[in-house]
Structure 1
Amino acid sequence: MADTTWIPFASTALGAVIAFGGTVLAGVRNDRSQRRRDRESDRLRTYIDFAVALDEAHAALREVARTPPDEPGRSAAASSAVQASGMYSVRERLLMSASPALVTAGEAAFDRLIGVRNAVRSGVVLSAREYHDAYHPFAEALWMFRVAARVEVGQNRLAPNHLDRESWSERERCARCGQVGDLV
């Protein structure tokens, strides 16, 4: 007759190996899930930071555009307005982490912001037609970026009518266009 006293020990050892393997596997899955959530959170933070930087840069450009066109240092102030917003560094983060659709929307908004900056740098004042012409494409591109970011993170697409608007450009509500009030 064979000695079978080792069977309980072997089955206990095998059970321990299986339990340990399951624990390790669960830990690996949790780590992967956490890393994925962290990456998604970082991307969302980048999208928000980019939109805020665009808005801050535009607000600073509006302040420069309120100064006289021949104000010394006006051109440098317009350039500094964009730089001080953190726009360039957050743009790099966006270029590295966003989908092609979101990068495209972000670059369009950035290019339109640079159009506003260039207008202000050239001496355009806030009430001038040239400022107005640069602002509306920027406003529309900023909203298109916001909408693209919402879609990227799984939210429903926004349309202008959701916010009681006719368009994202704000032209129909612009005093220069003869409507409700001055949004520029």
Structure 2
Amino acid sequence: MKNLIPFTSFRYAAVAVLLIAIISACGQDDDQRDFEQEAFSLPDGITQTDNSGQIVEGNEDPDDWRVAPFFQGLVYIDPLPFPNPVQVSDVLRIHVDPFQEALNGLIILVISENAANREPRQIYNHAQSPLPPGPTVVDLNPIQFSWNNTAQNARGLHRLILVDGSGNVISYGDILVE
């Protein structure tokens, strides 16, 4: 009988570890779902950055450019997209730095403040899967943010949503086009 006790204890321990892992995964799924719901809301405020991606002191929106729970520690948005605000005639630069081969593609969607009834639109697609390690630099023309590709409709507040090739939200943030 002595030999059965350690085996039984091991089984209980294994079951306990498995249950903890399942419960933790459910919590992470909920966190990711909540994050994605926030990402697909209308834009609200910006993190102001200079021409090198440095945050302008006192002008940070805590919701902008957080990394989703599924990608924390695996993807970095650094420096933050810049400049913000961006002139309609300038280029917005975004640096996405995946660890190893953490991303299977990169898609950027836009939601415009002045187009509340429109669906998010795709403005960028890097279909390589997986993305190579190291920074992927994306240069965007702010006119792309407009639903009809005009400078007039590009002006205003826009939410950019970065997703992988499977549609999982990686990060999001708001950009002001002047």
Q: Same fold (TM over 0.5)?
A: no
Alignment TM-score, normalising by the size of structure 1: 0.36
> Which structure features the higher share of strand residues?
2
> Which structure features the higher share of helix residues?
1
Q: Which has the larger radius of gyration?
A: 1
Alignment TM-score, normalising by the size of structure 2: 0.37
Higher relative contact order by CA 8 Å / sep ≥ 6: 1 or 2?
2
